[in-house]
Chains A and B, each alone.
Chain A
Amino acid sequence: MSEHSPFDDDSEVAVTSESLRDDLLDAYPKKTRRKREKQVVVNHKQADESGLVSLPVIGANTRTIPGVITQRGCSYAGCKGVILGPTRDIVNITHGPIGCGFYSWLTRRNQTLAPTDEHDNFMPYCFSTDMQDENIIFGGEKKLAKAIEEAYELFKPKAIAVFSTCPVGLIGDDVHQVAAEMKEKLGINVFGFSCEGYKGVSQSAGHHIANNQIFKHVVGEDNTKRGKWSINLLGEYNIGGDAFLIEDLLQRCGIDLVATFSGNSTYDQFANSHMAQLNCVMCHRSINYVADMMEKKYGPPWIKVNFIGAKATAKSLRKIAEYFDDQELTEKVEAVISEEYPAVFEAQEIYKPRCEGKRAMLFVGGSRAHHYQELFAELGMKTIAAGYEFAHRDDYEGRDVLPDIKVDADSRNIEELHVDADPDHYRGNDRAKAIERERAGYKFKEYDGLMADMPEKALVIDDINHHESEELIRRMKPDLFCAGIKEKYAVQKMGVPCKQLHSYDYGGPYAGFQGAINFYKEIDRMVNAKVWSMIQPPWSDEAKQNAPSSSSIRRDG
């Protein structure tokens, strides 16, 4: 590894981290620099006398600066693409011109497995109203109503959801009214989402809108009682089969998984989800709203879990067992962990020496830039820079800062649902148990965020853009860059492997114990691939200088 990594804890190098930040920012026009300054942060952690560590403040969840080549997508992507897309038995109709539906058609790898061919699975289909100019001029409500009817006649789903795209809000189509009328007419649940692409500043607004509507229209429909250790898994989307591995672990522990929001999920699971005793939140950003609303309305508390990384998985399973505080469950959980761990150790013995000391950068969505640091740590790899596309300050700095966050003008129109306790179905028992546990030191609703786990003086960058990524790579020469499809090929052209942590590069699963092993192998493959040593042709001077060096393209700078 480099002897001059800019976050090493000595004063001389500390300047490097700050000056690198300056260099990133100096490329901008003044106004742009002022905005980006707040979002590019050196992770100085300051401990006060009592040992309490405070983190730097980061600017996050603010509007994207035009023209900088952001990684971000839109509210529709966050709502339809992320949260509702993975549910196999709801017909999702995109109300808009054809593009939005087309691009979100099978491009996120949220796998699903219906038990038989008789069960609905609409995920290989793309449904759209394909709005034309006359629909923009005269309105698209009639076409939408007709499309819902046609979808019902053809597919007979148990529910139909409608997703608004940019022009829908502008021309004033009332999708909720149309949905309500069609619900009445068809006798199935039909509901709409006002997730126009311009809402909020990123995918994040879409998450919130999706949370609200699924909570309002589906959660709570089915009051069937659940088993003694019942949980929901919130914010796990079964990319590459992650949820399948987690489901298997939970099942072997005897834990009753009521619903996953929303990997490998069905409508009925959502409808019954409020009957679970505990909510376990994986992706804090996308689903904390449902967790909070469910607690207020029905009583079950929520905890943060993480099934990315073997250690994190074991810790999360134990945390669930601890909540239920039942000897039988604790034993089962320990048995599963002991069954799984030998293979993990074996794999670590092989792969850790091959990856140890290498340096990674992670710039992904709203949760993985944090979660995957645990996996890299298991390989002895360091995370030297990280950030999110669209997370909020609480995802960076921890939920303690929530009271300090001001909602700005761009996000003010995202509805906050007012939720009261349900007089018939609020379960005081769950609440009482939570209070009792909390007194005993058990932590609910706790999330410390990404920065707490990052090394001192590492760069934390919100809404990173192409310029900043390229500059970081050129200056710091990481061994691995983690991002998405838009970044991947530019990064690799620079001679640095790029792991897609959205699509997993069509591999995975990476969750749980088996997933961790898959990930170790994959990272070894990437950072030690022969290809990186062959980029310079043998007739170039640079190649001659570097000829006898290791298989990775270490170029200390």
Chain B
Amino acid sequence: MTLLRHTSADQDVQREALTVNPAKTCQPIGAMYAALGLHRCLPHSHGSQGCCAYHRSTLSRHYKEPAMAGTSSFTEGSSVFGGQANLLAAIENIFTVYNPDVIAVHTTCLSETIGDDVPQIVEAAIDKGLLPEGKMVIHANTPSYVGSHTTGFATMTKAMVDYIAQSSGAEKIRDQVNLIPGWVEPADMSELKRLVKLMGLDPVTFPDTSGVLDSPQTGIHEMFPAGGATVDSIRSAGDSCHTIALGPICSGPAAKALFAKCQIPQTTMPLPIGLKATDRFIMKLREINGGFVPDEIMTERGRVLDLMTDMHQYFYGKTAALWGDPDQLVSLAELLITLDMIPKFVVTGTPGKKFYKRMGEVLGDHAQGCKVDQGSCADMFQLHQWIKSDPDKVDLLIGNTYGKYIARDEDIPLIRHGFPILDRIGHQHFATVGYRGATRILEQILDAFLDRQDRDAPESGFELVM
């Protein structure tokens, strides 16, 4: 049986209005994920409760972990008259019952359409004495009808700067750098911190979901796990000597805000996925640390290169289809190019024309043979049609779990990468950034190709050694 049996190559309907199998989701889930990267923070969804239930469920399915969040639980009445009473009640209940240090409020299409003014409601909460001593409420406006989940992540990350970061007025701390890791997995955040430390620098990392969405089984449920960036550390981000923002979509706005607010020079660069992007990340850190790279990092880099040299024959000329988030796709495409592979089809539902320019830069000479699309109607249905209409299809799919339907129908191996991954574990425990992360991605690609070769080989050509 064919799963996506209605997708065919020769339907030439030009779609303007209908999105089919989206390569994005909506803002608030990104804000929720970012807020979980703040220590002792309860994310709060200001809207009707269905959004919050969906976002928590998706995060839990992805991480196999609790994902806590409150909601204002709008009714029809509050949708007409405004959600102030709901948010005030929520703030009182949350601090009384759950006692977080911070409530991070995001909005939905509902509260955005009716125009609720969250800062004004928070003021009212303070006036009514609903905020206990030392507690805070931060907020981000995250209308679901603008951008995508990555936009929501970026906005909540920026809110951490707007509400918390402060310049103490003293001199900038020479060894302290702000690391805004972007929308990556907890293990990626740990790996990035490790690299910064190896480079002799002290990272202020936010948001940081390591220790939150990869927490251990201890027999005790910690409502607020050990991980997460603390308010104090984010406050001190205003005194760092530099900000490195990884991924312009997810981290750029926070870095810019930090520059505007505390005059911290910033560098926004692609996510360090793959050899070249990691090289640039290390080069930037080297510029800040006075010019040294430790042997350990040299060795890690050498291992990736060694793998690339040894196994080049299996990578060379292979084609791939990619979908997901712009910051991820740009770096993944570059990684494939460095392997002499071709990222033939690339799709993101997240709007923003700069994506074409960035993809053009990494694709270079290959740009002619590749198809790239972004925004509404740039979806997985479109991607599937491209694959079907190409006589050679592609050799590999790289993207989230929804790709498994295409993978099965077209018999193309799938490497799960990005968000959400609902049907495998490991993604939050094994980094894909840095040289170590590149090694992991290369291993996954090789496994896919070699498994395929083993499966398809004739009896006589079935190889023991590859």
A residues contacting B by CB (< 8 A) are 27-29, 31-32, 63-77, 93, 96-107, 114, 117, 120-122, 124-133, 135-136, 143-144, 146-147, 149-151, 153-155, 165-167, 169-171, 196-201, 409-410, 413, 466-467, 470, 484-486, 488-495, 535-536, 553
- Is there an interface contact between A129 and B76, defined as CB atoms closer than 8 Å? no
Inter-chain CA distance A29–B98, complex, in Å, is: 12
Q: Is B405's CB under 8 angstroms from A124's CB?
A: yes
Partner of B110, one of A72, A167, A536: A167
Q: Are B110 and A197 in contact (CB under 8 A)?
A: yes
Partner of B60, one of A103, A153, A489: A489
Given A66-B90, A129-B18, also A410-B75 (CB < 8 A): yes
Point out the residues of chain B lying under 8 angstroms from A125, CB to CB: 4, 6, 20-21, 381
Spot the interface stretch: B47-55, B262-270, B449-457. B47-55
Contact A147 B17, CB 8 Å, known A69-B69, A98-B26, A467-B98: yes
A98 to B145, CA, bound (A): 7
CB-based contact B57/A107 at 8 Å: yes
Q: Tell me which residues across on chain B come within 8 A of A98, comparing CB atoms.
A: 19, 22, 24-26, 144, 148, 349
Query: Given A66-B86, A68-B70, 12 more contacts at CB 8 Å?
Result: A66-B71, A67-B91, A70-B49, A98-B25, A99-B51, A126-B22, A131-B109, A133-B143, A146-B17, A147-B17, A486-B53, A535-B219
Chain B residue numbers with a CB within 8 Å of A494 are 219-221
- What are 25 contact pairs spanning A and B, CB under 8 A? A29-B92, A32-B93, A66-B90, A66-B93, A67-B92, A67-B97, A68-B97, A77-B53, A96-B109, A98-B26, A105-B402, A106-B402, A127-B18, A128-B19, A153-B11, A154-B13, A166-B79, A166-B109, A167-B113, A167-B145, A196-B79, A198-B48, A198-B79, A200-B75, A490-B68
Per-residue CB contact flags for chain B residues 368-388 toward chain A (1 = under 8 Å, else 0) read: 000000001100010000000
- 1/0 contact trace for B291-303 toward A, CB 8 Å? 0000000000000
Question: When chains A and B are docked, how far (Å) is the Cα of A114 from the Cα of B6?
Answer: 13
A146 in contact with B89 given A74-B53, A99-B51, A197-B51 (CB within 8 Å) = no
- Asked if B54 and A103 make an inter-chain contact with CB atoms under 8 angstroms apart, the answer reads yes
Distance, CA A128 to CA B25, complexed state (A): 11
* Chain A nearest Cβ from B103, distance in angstroms: 9
Interface check B178, CB cutoff 8 A = no
Tell me how far the C-beta of B425 lies from the nearest C-beta in chain A, rounded to whole angstroms. 12
Q: Decide if A146 touches B96 in the complex (CB within 8 Å).
A: no
A467 to B47, CA, bound (A): 21
Across the interface, which residues of A come within 8 angstroms of B402, CB to CB?
A: 105-106
Q: Taking A27-B97, A136-B113, A197-B48 as contacts, is the C-beta distance between A154 and B219 under 8 angstroms? A: no
Which residues of B (164-221) have their CB < 8 Å from a CB of A? 215, 217-221
Contact call A201/B75, Cβ cutoff below 8 A:
yes
Q: Which residue of A lies closest to B8 (CB)?
A: A154
Is there contact, CB below 8 Å, between A198 and B29? no
Q: Please tell me if B459 contacts chain A, counting CB pairs below 8 Å.
A: no
6 interchain residue pairs of minimum CB distance: A74-B50, A67-B90, A99-B26, A146-B17, A103-B54, A66-B90
Instruction: Say yes or no: A166-B11 contact (C-beta < 8 A), given A71-B53, A147-B17.
Output: no
Nearest chain A CB to B412 CB, angstrom units: 16
**B interface vs A, CB < 8 Å?**
1-6, 11, 13, 15-22, 24-29, 44, 47-51, 53-58, 60-61, 64-79, 86-87, 89-94, 96-98, 108-110, 113-114, 143-146, 148, 215, 217-223, 349, 376-377, 381, 402, 405
CA distance A150 to B15 in the complex (A): 7
Q: How far is the CB of A37 from chain B (nearest CB, A)?
A: 15
| B74 and A198 within 8 A (CB) | yes
Residues on A with beta carbons closer than 8 Å to the beta carbon of B6:
120-122, 125, 154-155
Contact B49 A72 (CB under 8 A): yes
Q: Is the CB of B49 within 8 A of A121?
A: no
Known contacts being A70-B71, A494-B221, is A99 close to B54, with CB within 8 Å? yes
Q: How far is the CA of A366 from the CA of B275 in the complex (A)?
A: 52
Q: How far is the CA of A247 from the CA of B72 in the complex (A)?
A: 42
> What residues on A are CB-neighbors of B66 within 8 Å?
486, 489-490, 493
Residues of chain A within 8 A (CB-CB) of B405 are: 124
Chain A residue, CB-CB nearest to B87: A66
Task: Judge whether B64 and A489 touch: CB under 8 Å.
Answer: yes
| Neighbouring A residues of B221 by C-beta, 8 Å | 470, 490-491, 493-494
Contact, CB under 8 Å: A67 / B18:
no
Give Cα A64–Cα B90 distance, bound, in whole angstroms. 11
Nearest chain A CB to B93 CB, angstrom units: 4
Contact residues in A for B4 (Cβ distance below 8 Å)? 124-125
B46 to chain A, nearest CB (A): 9
Note all chain A residues with C-beta closer than 8 A to B74: 197-198
A153 x B145 contact (CB < 8 A): no
Residues of chain A lying within 8 A (CB to CB) of residue B376: 130, 132
Q: Are B13 and A150 closer than 8 Å at their CB atoms?
A: yes
Tell me which of A29, A31, A63, A489 contacts B75 (CB under 8 A).
Answer: A63
**Which of A97, A413, A470, A495 is within 8 Å of B26, CB to CB?**
A97
Contact check, B5 vs A489: say whether CB atoms are below 8 A apart: no
Do B75 and A129 touch across chains, with their CB atoms under 8 A apart? no
A73: nearest chain-B partner, CB-CB = B53
In the assembly, what is the distance between CA of A69 and CA of B97, in Å? 10
B220 touches A74 (CB 8 A): no
Q: Is the CB of A199 within 8 A of B50?
A: no
Specify which chain B residues have a CB less than 8 angstroms from the CB of A64 in the assembled complex: 49, 71, 73
Q: Is the CB–CB distance between B65 and A146 below 8 Å? A: no
| Complexed CA–CA distance, A149 and B60 (Å) | 36
CA distance A514 to B148 in the complex (A): 44
Given A73-B53, A100-B54, A166-B47, CB of A66 within 8 Å of CB of B20: no
Contact A146 to B16, CB < 8 A, known contacts A131-B145, A198-B74 = yes
Residue pair A66, B19 in contact (C-beta under 8 Å): no
Task: Give the Cβ gap from A155 to chain B, nearest Cβ, in Å.
Answer: 5
B53 contacts A99, C-beta separation under 8 Å = no
Smallest CB gap from A67: residue in B: B90
Neighbouring A residues of B86 by C-beta, 8 Å: 66
Contact of B48 with A65 in the complex, beta carbons under 8 Å:
no
CA distance in complex: A128, B44 (Å): 26
Contacts of A170 in B (CB 8 A): 79, 110, 113-114
Given contacts A66-B72, A155-B6, A198-B110, contact A29 B96 (CB under 8 A): yes
Q: Shortest beta-carbon distance, B337 to chain A, in Å?
A: 30
What's the least CB distance linking B82 to chain A, in Å?
12
B144 to A150, Cβ gap below 8 A?
no
- Tell whether, in the assembled complex, residue A72 and residue B53 are in contact, meaning their CB atoms are under 8 Å apart: yes
Query: Are A410 and B76 touching (Cβ within 8 A)?
Result: yes
Instruction: Select A150's contact among B18, B22, B48, beta carbons within 8 Å.
Output: B18
Q: Is the CB of A486 within 8 A of B60?
A: yes
Q: How far is the CA of A409 from the CA of B27 in the complex (A)?
A: 31
> Using Cβ atoms and an 8 Å threshold, which residues of chain B touch A63?
73, 75
Task: State whether A67 touches B13 (Cβ < 8 A).
Answer: no
Q: B18 — which chain A residues lie within 8 A by C-beta?
A: 93, 127-129, 146-147, 150-151, 154
Contacts of B71 in A (CB 8 A): 64, 66-67, 70
Residues on B with beta carbons closer than 8 Å to the beta carbon of A67: 44, 70-72, 89-94, 97
Interface pair A150/B17, CB less than 8 Å apart: yes
Please indicate the chain B residues that have their CB under 8 angstroms from the CB of A124 in the complex: 3-4, 405
A214 CB, min distance to chain B CBs, angstroms: 20
Verify B22–A74 contact, CB threshold 8 A. no
Flag if A77 contacts B50 (CB, 8 Å).
Answer: yes
Q: A200 CA to B51 CA in the complex, in Å?
A: 15
Q: A67-B70, A75-B50 are in contact. Are A28 and B17 (CB under 8 A)?
A: no
Chain B min CB distance to A251 (Å): 21
- In the bound complex, what is the Cα–Cα distance between A105 and B67 (angstroms)? 20
The residues of B that contact A68 with a CB separation of less than 8 Å are: 70, 93, 97
Give every chain B residue within 8 A of A107 (Cβ-Cβ): 57-58, 61
Q: Are A99 and B61 in contact (CB under 8 A)?
A: no
Q: How far is the CA of A166 from the CA of B72 in the complex (A)?
A: 14
CB distance from B331 to the nearest CB of A (A): 24
Cα(A506)–Cα(B315), bound, Å? 35
Q: Which of B48, B70, B113, B148 has the most CB of A within 10 A?
A: B48
